Amino acid sequence: MHTMFSKKPLTIKQQIKQLQDRGLTISNTKLAEKYLSNISYYRLGEYWYVMQSDKLNHVFKPNSNFDDVIALYNFDAELRLLLFEVIEKIEISLRTKLIYHLSHEVDPWWFQNFDLFTDSMALVKTLSNLQEELTRSKDVTIKNHFKNHKDDKRFPPAWKSLEQTSFGALSKLYGNLKPSVQSKDSIAVEFGAVNHTYLPSWLQSIAQIRNFCAHHSRLWNRNLPGTVKLLSKPPNPWIIKPENVPKQHEFQKLYIHMTLMKYLLNTIQPNNDFKRQLNQLFNKYPKVDQNALGMKLNWMEEPVWKI
């Protein structure tokens, strides 16, 4: 028999008392009230969940502290900002390469040419989302294009249209290209991904992480869906120690995905400071369990992270 949901909302003071009763140390209740009035109990709960010894009755382990919850929350927020910045560089590069290579190989309207794509249903979806973006766009170049080319019933050319689309849509477009399209391999080669079989899975995972960042979702201790295909002998500096290469079951942790971001970023911007910023973040929050991100011992010593 199904029972109706009957929990009543708690006031902030009641929320604090409940946490204390369950064994969470809150030394400064005034500060805790301030936090809980700006970050919901439910959202913060994602960070104190691991501190509970009895998850069913929500009993905290000894020495669990509200300050550590906040540190973890802040660490995660800063990690999202850092990754967002890195992903932005990868997104701009992918967009540029797609527009350049395919407009030269085919024509500026390659992205609406069904002969070039494997899955026409997926392309219909991508194009219908793109059409919405263009209709909504306040971009002057787009508005002028439609005004000046009223009779042209095609999308604006790739260099105008694809500037309006998301990283997710770009990664889908790339992944959906037929293997016979030369540019699919050329782009993979430029990114150090050898050929078209590896890059789509990397881009999909990065697009997913980008969405978590954009929606302020937790990345710390999160199981990421989807797998990535790893090159056995990457042409560019990668991970040398076999024990530092994640196994299949570790693909849901952030470490391998951040390492792939670094690998791609190294082709776009050698001497980038991703490692320095990441290391700084770990130093700023020393209590954060790096293992929850799947970080490997001496991860900074690996060649991919040294560039």
Whether residue 179 sits in one domain with residue 219: yes
Q: What SS3 class is residue 53?
A: strand
* Conformational region of residue 59, where left means phi above 0, alpha means psi within -120 to 50, and beta covers everything else: beta
Whether residue 289 sits in one domain with residue 265: yes
Q: Give 54-104 pLDDT, tens digit per residue.
A: 999 999 999 999 999 999 999 999 999 999 999 999 999 999 999 999 999
Whether residue 173 sits in one domain with residue 146: yes
What is the average per-residue pLDDT within 282-292?
93
Q: What is d(CA 79, CA 197) in angstroms, rounded to the nearest whole number?
A: 29
Q: What is d(CA 162, CA 155) in angstroms, rounded to the nearest whole number?
A: 10
Q: Give 251-280 pLDDT, tens digit per residue.
A: 999 999 999 999 999 999 999 999 999 999
Whether residue 175 sits in one domain with residue 109: yes
Q: What is d(CA 157, CA 77) in angstroms, rounded to the nearest whole number?
A: 37
Contact 205, 257 (CB under 8 A): yes
Q: Give 147-186 pLDDT, tens digit per residue.
A: 999 999 899 999 999 999 999 999 999 999 999 999 999 9
Residue 1 pLDDT more than 70? Answer: no
Whether residue 166 sits in one domain with residue 26: no
pTM equals 0.93
Helices (H), the chain: 12-21, 29-38, 41-48, 66-105, 120-136, 140-148, 158-161, 167-176, 182-190, 199-214, 254-268, 274-284, 303-306
Whole-number mean pLDDT of the chain?
95
Residue 60 sits in which domain range? 12-64
What is the average per-residue pLDDT within 294-306?
93
Whether residue 153 sits in one domain with residue 43: no
Tokens standing for residue 134: 């263009």
Residue 218 pLDDT more than 80? Answer: yes
Whether residue 132 sits in one domain with residue 47: no
Q: Long-range contacts: 247-250, Cβ < 8 Å, 24+? A: 250/294
pLDDT attached to residue 3: 75
Whether residue 78 sits in one domain with residue 180: yes
Whether residue 160 sits in one domain with residue 40: no
Residue 2 lies in a domain: no
Q: What SS3 class is residue 117?
A: strand
Residue 27 pLDDT more than 80? Answer: yes
Whether residue 299 sits in one domain with residue 277: yes
Whether residue 40 sits in one domain with residue 77: no
